[in-house]
Chain A
Amino acid sequence: MTPNANEDAQPLDEDLLTARVYTVDGVTDVFPPAPTLTLIPQALTAIVTGSPKRLNRVNVSTDGATTALTIRVGTSIDAATPDTAKRVADTLLDSIPDGHDATVTVQVSRIA
């Protein structure tokens, strides 16, 4: 039996991916991938720990065959937003190990 390629590849680490996105020129923020109201447990953790980064991260999900990387970012008004968004997507694409069938969704939610 041929194993699923995604089972052989290393899992994508959300914290590592998030850290890489923060290094992209023009990125000012990484936001929770869903409206905060739906993230109440994580929000409570963030309040208790004082660590909003527990909320703000790349979201990695999989249906077994395809991995979806989703992120909401804020961008700098001093850099062209389409270019920044493209750099974020390219950074995430470059982070996908061989053997992963993945999609990347980047939403810019704030320019400041």
Chain B
Amino acid sequence: MNENEPRTLNCGKTIEELSAYLAADRTPYDPSIEACPECLNALQGLTRVSQLFHDLITQDVTDLPAPRENWFEDIMTNIHREVRSGRSLPLPHPDKRVDLSLTEGAVLALIRSAGDIVPGLVIGTCHLKGNVEEPGAPVDVSVTASIVWNQPIPDATRTLRTHIYEALATHTALNVTSVNITIKDLHRALSDENKEN
């Protein structure tokens, strides 16, 4: 995707519109956003990115390069991709007249929120690999993440993996066979890069 191309959700809103709405403290109240689960999932992800950005520029770590220039752009693009409803994950119900399901977008947003528990970590991409629409089929979870320089990676990944497993066990009927986490970025605070310039 071209970075100037708007990232549009199924509801018609763009990530850029939602980012501006968030920057305006969600005023004036827009019911077409506040009544849309995709928009709300995106706003949740954007809020975390915004908080992380703030955390980074207020930290004082000097030994590693700052995040790539397009680091936040990549995360926003991933949020755009993930919040769309996606596949339909079945939930059990004994009555054959009932059809219960969970959207893939809701589950990916749930996984992304599990990253909040780990200080300095932000999830880059999340994927559910496998036939999630087939009850009981094995599903592998693949996550990439970025972590701030001073966090021990083994501890962080262990904590994240535990929370992802617990969240998926509590909120889905997926047969999760693995949670694979790749730390793709290690960075210091943006404020130090700014000091050098």
Which A residues have a C-beta under 8 Å from some C-beta of B? 29, 31-32, 35-37, 43, 46-47, 50-52, 55-56, 72, 74-75, 77, 80-82, 85-86, 89, 93, 102-112
Contact = CB atoms under 8 A, between A and B. Distances in A.
The DSSP consensus for interface residues of chain B is: mixed
**A-B residue pairs, 4 tightest by C-beta:** A109-B37, A52-B31, A81-B171, A37-B12
A104 to B, nearest CB: 5
Question: How large, as a class, is the contact surface on chain B?
Answer: 35 or more
B34 interface: yes
A37 B35 CA distance: 12
B106 interface: yes
Contact of B35 (A56, A102, A111, A112): A56
Given A47-B31, A52-B31, A110-B106, A105 B99 contact: yes
Interface in B97-124: 97-103, 105-107, 109-110, 113
B173 A31 contact: no
B95 interface: yes
Given A86-B100, A108-B103, A111-B109, A47 B40 contact: no
Interface stretch (B86-94, B139-147, B151-159, B187-195): B86-94
A89 B100 contact: yes
A36 B40 contact: no
B11 interface: yes
Contacts of A93: 95, 97-98
Contacts of A77: 110, 113, 171
Given A31-B35, A37-B10, A112 B44 contact: yes
Nearest to A70: B99
B125 interface: no
Contacts of B107: 111
